[in-house]
A and B are shown apart, each in its own frame.
Chain A
Amino acid sequence: SAVISQKPSRDICQRGTSLTIQCQVDSQVTMMFWYRQQPGQSLTLIATANQGSEATYESGFVIDKFPISRPNLTFSTLTVSNMSPEDSSIYLCSVTEISRYEQYFGPGTRLTVT
Chain B
Amino acid sequence: GQNIDQPTEMTATEGAIVQINCTYQTSGFNGLFWYQQHAGEAPTFLSYNVLDGLEEKGRFSSFLSRSKGYSYLLLKELQMKDSASYLCAVKYYGQNFVFGPGTRLSVLP
CB distance from A56 to the nearest CB of B (A): 9
Binds A, one of B11-19, B60-68, B75-83, B99-107: B99-107
Are A42 and B42 in contact, with the CB atoms below 8 A?
no
CB distance from B87 to the nearest CB of A (A): 6
Are A104 and B45 in contact, with the CB atoms below 8 A?
yes
Contact with B along A31-45 (1 / 0, CB 8 A): 001000000011111
Are B42 and A101 in contact, with the CB atoms below 8 A?
no
Are A101 and B45 in contact, with the CB atoms below 8 A?
no
CB distance from B86 to the nearest CB of A (A): 11
Chain B residue contacts of A45, Cβ below 8 A: 96-97
**A6 to chain B: closest residue by CB:** B42
Given A33-B96, A42-B87, A105 and B43 contact (CB-CB distance below 8 Å): yes
In-complex Cβ contact of A106 among B42, B45, B87, B102 (8 A): B42
Are B43 and A43 in contact, with the CB atoms below 8 A?
yes
Q: How large is the interface on B (under 10, 10 to 19, 20 to 34, 35 or more residues)?
A: 10 to 19
In-complex Cβ contact of B33 among A41, A42, A44, A102 (8 A): A102
Q: How large is the interface on A (under 10, 10 to 19, 20 to 34, 35 or more residues)?
A: 10 to 19
Are A105 and B87 in contact, with the CB atoms below 8 A?
no
Are B87 and A43 in contact, with the CB atoms below 8 A?
yes
Are A107 and B33 in contact, with the CB atoms below 8 A?
no
Are B100 and A42 in contact, with the CB atoms below 8 A?
yes
**A92 to chain B: closest residue by CB:** B42
Chain B interface residues toward A at CB < 8 A: 31, 33, 41-45, 48, 50, 87, 91, 96-97, 99-102
Chain A interface residues toward B at CB < 8 A: 1, 33, 41-45, 48, 58, 92, 101-108
**What 13 new A-B contacts, CB under 8 Å, besides A42-B102, A43-B87, A101-B33?**
A42-B87, A42-B99, A42-B100, A43-B99, A48-B96, A92-B42, A92-B43, A101-B31, A101-B91, A102-B48, A105-B42, A107-B41, A107-B42
